[in-house]
Amino acid sequence: MQIRVSEIPDEGLQLLDPAALGAIYPDPAWTLDTVSLFVERRSQTVAVTGSFEATAHLLCGRCLEPLVTRVAPEVDLQIMPQPSGRQGDIELGRDDLEVDFYKGDLLDVGGLLRSETDLALPMKPLCRPDCRGLCPVCGGNRNVTECRCDPRGPDPRLAPLEALRRLP
């Protein structure tokens, strides 16, 4: 969903219906469950505040089993018109971490929600905290079956580095 910044009413715009925003995520298994955003125009700057909940389908970072993750980030962003000039020349300071840019007169709400969802996802998703992962020898899921593979020794190509570690 895109909003024309010039058409945002003076009293602001309340976004409460996830269905009205359309398909936000490229993966159809991911869903936007609830949304409660307030969009307010302050001259050319747009303030977006509120929260939303989304469901993401990921793979475990250790055993590669599918898992469902729910995220519920709080949103508090200032969105400004994109500065003229080349995009690579924009330098952000410490106070600019919650600032984003819109192009022309269009604010892409779907892109904003995708970005906030990506930031809220765990860096290493796990199916459970004690996930044992995959066997490095046979590739079997150690959560499902007990692996009887012999552990591998150190890589012989790293032997010269081991000698450096023993130096005083």
Partners of 37 in beta bridges: 15, 50
Distance, CA of 120 to CA of 134 (rounded, Å):
26
Q: Where are the domains of the chain?
A: 2-120, 132-168
DSSP for the chain, please give it. Answer: -EEEGGGS-TT-EEE--GGGG---SSSTT-EEEEEEEEEEEETTEEEEEEEEEEEEEEE-TTT--EEEEEE--EEEEEEEEPPSS-GGG----GGGTTEEEEBTTEEEHHHHHHHHHHHHS-SS--SSTT---B-TTT--BTTTS---PPPP---GGGHHHHHHHT--
pLDDT at 102: 82
Contact 1/20 with Cβ under 8 angstroms?
yes
What does pTM read for this prediction?
Answer: 0.75
Beta strands 74-81; 99-102: pairing state: parallel
Residues of the chain predicted below pLDDT 50 = none
Distance, CA of 115 to CA of 121 (rounded, Å):
10
pLDDT at 88: 58
pLDDT per residue as tens digits for the range 51-99 = 999 999 999 999 999 999 999 999 888 888 877 655 555 666 666 666 7
> How many CB atoms within 10 Å of residue 64?
12
pLDDT at 92: 64
